[in-house]
Amino acid sequence: MSNDRLFVLPGETIDPSLIPSHPKNPLRLGPGLRHIPPSDIVPTVAGQLITNPVKNFMSIEYNSTHYIPSQGDIILAQILRSTTDFYLCSLAPYTAPATLPHLAFESATKKTRPILSPGQLVYARVSLANAHMDPELECVHASTGKADGLGPITGPGCVFDVSLGFARRLLMARAVEDGGVGVLDMLGGEEGGGLAFETAVGRNGRVWVGSDNPKTVVIVGRALQETDRSRLGMERQRRLVKKLVREMRWRD
């Protein structure tokens, strides 16, 4: 990530010149910022200030461990139990459960809805997140009726916990350039000897790694967790991937 971004602390005043001013679009505030009428914009967390003058958007990039659901987040939820109309899911340990309606799946009707058992993982989108209310999830796009890759996660694989900031970096459209995370590409590319695996990254700091070969899952999981924990740069990520792959080869 570029270093020229401004680091702000909670309550600090933001220089008005940094606030994007677009002639037409209204100013949109992302997480970590608060608007105090009439015109003050105050950060509520410590982190890097991100501004996008084209979209007229600003937010704060920060790392934390406690996940707060917000609308539109793609998350990895775990089914707790089923009630008459919806499943109760946990997004993070020790937090209030989120609801996932039985019919919020692709082409689900009362008769064809998927039956999920407690403990199963679901890749879902937060459809509603209000303060003081349990968040609501969906596995289908409300307007198109398509799943777009969401739904229950089946197949061999495992979940690895990472920090929220790292999950966000992984989810960036250009994870390598903007997020500075290249491990996944490297593992699938020449450094990793073309490992075959799939991932599902949840904003709630959980990454599912699936592969038919358990060794691949372990390598990918360890690479992700190590990159996150030690805040590795690109070059060190490359070295880590090579080391892990070599170790696994040696064990065969």
Partner 1 sequence: MPLDTSTYNLALLRVDGRRWNELRRVHAQIRTQAAADGSSYLEMGHTKVMCVVTGPSEPGPRRGTGGGGAGGGGAAAGAGAKAEVVVSIVIAGFSSVDRKRHGRGDKRTLELQSTVANALAASLHTHLFPHSQVNISLHVLSQDGSLLAALINAATLACVDAGIPMTDYVAACTAGSTSTYAANDEGADPLLDLNHQEEQELPGLTVATLGESDRVVVLVCESRVQVSRLEGMLAVGVDGCKQVREILDRVVREKGRRMVQEGTVEKGIGLNEMDVD
Partner 2 sequence: MPREAEPSLNEKQFVIQALQENLRLDGRELDQYRPLELSFGDQYGLADVKLGKTRVLAKATAEVTVPYTDRPLDGIFTIATELGPMTSPAFEVNRPTETEVLLSRLLEKTVRRSGALDTESLCLVAGQKCWSVRVDVHVLSHDGNLIDASCLAVVAALRHFRKPDTSMEAGVLTVYTPAEREPVPLSWLHSPFCVTWSFFGEEGEIAVLDATWIEEQVRVGSCTVSLNKHGEICQIAKLGGTPVEAVALLQCVSVSLTKVKEFSDLLDRKLAEDLKRRDKGGFMAELRAENDR
Interface residues with partner 2 (CB under 8 A)?
78, 90, 93-94, 117-121, 153, 156-159, 208, 214-215, 217-219, 221-222, 244, 247-248
Do residues 139 and 133 lie in contact, with contact meaning Cβ atoms separated by under 8 Å?
no
Q: Which C-beta is closer to partner 2: that of 47 or that of 157?
A: 157
CB of 7 to partner 2, least distance (A): 29
Choosing from 80, 96, 196, 234, the residue that interacts with partner 1 (CB under 8 A) is 80
Q: Which C-beta is closer to partner 1: that of 38 or that of 93?
A: 93
By CB under 8 A, residue 96 contacts partner 1: no
Q: Which C-beta is closer to partner 1: that of 94 or that of 250?
A: 94
Number of residues binding to partner 1, judged by CB under 8 A: 3
Q: Which C-beta is closer to partner 1: that of 118 or that of 145?
A: 118
By CB under 8 A, residue 81 contacts partner 1: yes
CB of 121 to partner 2, least distance (A): 5
Distance in angstroms (rounded) separating the CA atoms of residues 81 and 87:
6
CB of 119 to partner 2, least distance (A): 4
By CB under 8 A, residue 11 contacts partner 1: no
Question: Which residues bind to partner 1, rule: CB under 8 A?
Answer: 80-81, 118
